[in-house]
Amino acid sequence: MTNSLWWYVARAGGLVSWGLLAAAVLWGLALRSRLLGSRPRPAWLLDLHRYLAGVAVIFVGVHVGAILLDGYVHFDVVQVLIPFTSTWHPGAVAWGIVAGYLLLAVELTSLARARISRTLWRRVHYLSFPLFVFATVHALTAGTDRGTSAFQLGVWSVCALVAVLTALRARPAAPARSASAARPSAPRPGAGPVVPAGRPPAASRPAATGRPVTAPRPAAPRAPVATRAVVPPPRRRVPVQPSA
């Protein structure tokens, strides 16, 4: 009875951890693909994403601990930490071991996000995609419930939803309107006022009071100011004395 209890705990821990991991991935993709809208989101939406990933780590620990306590397969610490060392389905177990390491890397860098660079955090966070793939392959190859139709339907439905949200996330955003196109061009010096097409000039449009608006009368040209020419004084001639 004790052996069966730990085996059921291991199965339940594995299923719950995979479900929490899938929910964290789906929620993160929904946040990044703006599926929930482009308005500023409350902080609890991001906290829920982190909470799902953190609880998934806890249930992975429950899954591994129950496997160590189970006496049917007889796993030891080395077999649950190093891939391809177990005697029971070594390939299927290896997928789960690698997925566990990826989950720890993503979760630890998320907790230390304020102390590491954004570039490093983003690159490690992209490991969530292979993490989900490895965990799904482990569930489909090593899980005891892999042959049930309900489990198969749930896994493939979640995989399809992850694929759709990933495609939406990878879709390039629409090009932003340039500032030069949004701002009207300034009129050139000497050019007349710019009148939009289909609208009459300001002189013929009625004002808000119903009276016609008259164009301002042009100012009369000023007469040129006469300037007095400056005449240089005549040059004096010096008589030349004849030489003796």
CA distance 12 to 62: 9
Considering only CA atoms, which of 19, 235, 140, 117 is closest in space to residue 109?
117
Q: What proportions of the chain, in percent to the nearest 5, are helix, strand and coil?
A: 55, 0, 45
Tens-of-pLDDT digits for all 244 residues of the chain?
A: 556 888 899 999 999 999 999 999 998 888 877 666 666 566 777 888 889 999 999 999 999 999 999 888 889 999 999 999 998 899 999 999 999 999 999 999 999 999 999 999 999 999 999 999 999 999 999 988 888 899 999 999 999 999 999 988 777 655 555 444 555 555 555 555 555 555 555 555 555 555 555 556 666 666 555 555 556 666 666 555 554 4
pTM, full prediction: 0.68
pLDDT for the residue 236 = 63
| Residue 225, pLDDT score | 57
pLDDT score for 179: 47
Please give the pLDDT value at position 169. Answer: 78
pLDDT on residue 73: 80
Integer Rg of the chain from CA? 41
